[in-house]
A and B are shown apart, each in its own frame.
Chain A
């Protein structure tokens, strides 16, 4: 099954931006705050190599840290801690280790470009595979945590189907489409037909939001990798699964319902 999902790794600046949308994404203090409260993971160090050997290090984070930073900004500290821990788990897993190795093998500044969402043409297959593996595991974490499907945040994931002078058309598979300023798509390094990205609308208050184009990756998920049952919330009216019944249920529900049992006499104010 094809699935367009957020690019699975980020640099520190994206996390800071999610926490302090109006501030400088390069600021140190907000990230220290996130770390001090355990609202962000420590990330993974990747060595960079130049012509003359080691050329420094960079830190790569799971994109779940962007979610935990948003949760922290909204004051949901327990969920922020929980998601940051999930990010740390992911960063210590085998998928991330493979990605770390693949990034370390890249020459020059290529690793930064990959972290920013740009997989260069001719990139090693191991790198693409590692990115997909991390993205797939990230999606499974998302599916298991309802805090990551907050109504305060809307994600529109799709592919570019049309390019115009000032905008691109981002379309969901067999679904609606939306216009996105071209400069915004370019900032996510997605400005060609077929490129995929996610438009994230992050609520600030009752009448305003941050809208951000985030790079995405098309993940082919096998049935064995799909989260059991997919995403599900028992709440709200959107999920038809809550109301859909089987033939066996029909048998169970046939016949007159028995009178409801009222265990404790209770009065309800008018």
Chain B
């Protein structure tokens, strides 16, 4: 545990039971429930799928000093591609979920739980070997205003095309191409 009051560690296959009891959603809100459902039932399979090793999938679990699992995040390397084959390597922020009782809460030093978790993702992406392209995107339901704001604070500020009318796709910025 760090002095700041949290500890982040990579997930393990045997975390599936821990994740099965993770709650982060109002079950009446479909887009929240789908996040919780994914974390509870699919995330460990996603992270440890032997056919997906090439994408370097990463699962991160965040614990408070009390031992509470306060957040879960996952990301992997992927390729964005147009129909004519133009490709960009990127990291997809697969999921980032803060436990219900930690939503809106801060650590003693003043950091939001969500900011700690997102910073852990950015740190992890930055330190992967082989290095990832510094291009991170996330797909977020358009009504998920908290997550959209969180992404904005952490630099996912550019709006790409929507993969679905109800879902936004946000990406980190790029320098203007040279002449």
Find out whether the CB atom of B123 lies under 8 angstroms from the CB atom of A262: yes
A266 cross-chain contacts in B, Cβ below 8 A: 6, 8, 116, 119-120, 123
A233 cross-chain contacts in B, Cβ below 8 A: 34, 38
A146 cross-chain contacts in B, Cβ below 8 A: 30, 33-34, 37-38
Find out whether the CB atom of A246 lies under 8 angstroms from the CB atom of B116: no
Find out whether the CB atom of B37 lies under 8 angstroms from the CB atom of A147: yes
B92 cross-chain contacts in A, Cβ below 8 A: 242-243
Query: Once the chains are docked, how many angstroms separate the CA of A234 from the CA of B166?
Result: 11
Residue B100 interfacial (CB < 8 Å): no
A125 cross-chain contacts in B, Cβ below 8 A: none
Find out whether the CB atom of A256 lies under 8 angstroms from the CB atom of B175: yes
Query: Once the chains are docked, how many angstroms separate the CA of A257 from the CA of B175?
Result: 6
Distance in angstroms from B172 CB to nearest chain A CB is 6
A175 cross-chain contacts in B, Cβ below 8 A: none
Query: Once the chains are docked, how many angstroms separate the CA of A255 from the CA of B37?
Result: 37
Instruction: Give which listed residue, A145, A235, A239, A247, contacts B94 with CB less than 8 A.
Output: A235
Task: Tell whether A253 pairs with B136 under 8 Å between CB atoms, given A235-B94, A258-B174.
Answer: no
B167 cross-chain contacts in A, Cβ below 8 A: 232, 234
Instruction: Give which listed residue, A144, A152, A236, A254, contacts B177 with CB less than 8 A.
Output: A254
Find out whether the CB atom of B30 lies under 8 angstroms from the CB atom of A145: yes
Query: Once the chains are docked, how many angstroms separate the CA of A244 from the CA of B177?
Result: 22
Residue B10 interfacial (CB < 8 Å): yes
Find out whether the CB atom of A241 lies under 8 angstroms from the CB atom of B163: yes
Binary contact readout B57-94 vs A (1 if CB under 8 angstroms, 0 otherwise)? 00010000000000000000011111100101010101
A29 cross-chain contacts in B, Cβ below 8 A: none
A241 cross-chain contacts in B, Cβ below 8 A: 163-164
Find out whether the CB atom of A253 lies under 8 angstroms from the CB atom of B171: yes
Task: Tell whether A268 pairs with B120 under 8 Å between CB atoms, given A145-B30, A245-B160.
Answer: yes
Residue B149 interfacial (CB < 8 Å): no
Task: Tell whether A243 pairs with B175 under 8 Å between CB atoms, given A262-B119, A263-B118, A263-B154.
Answer: no
Find out whether the CB atom of A229 lies under 8 angstroms from the CB atom of B155: no
Find out whether the CB atom of B120 lies under 8 angstroms from the CB atom of A252: no
Inter-chain pairs besides A260-B125, A261-B155, 12 sampled, C-beta below 8 Å: A151-B42, A232-B167, A245-B82, A252-B171, A255-B177, A258-B174, A261-B172, A266-B6, A266-B8, A266-B116, A267-B123, A269-B7
9 closest Cβ contacts across the A-B interface? A78-B27, A146-B34, A232-B164, A261-B155, A234-B139, A264-B119, A269-B9, A255-B177, A229-B164
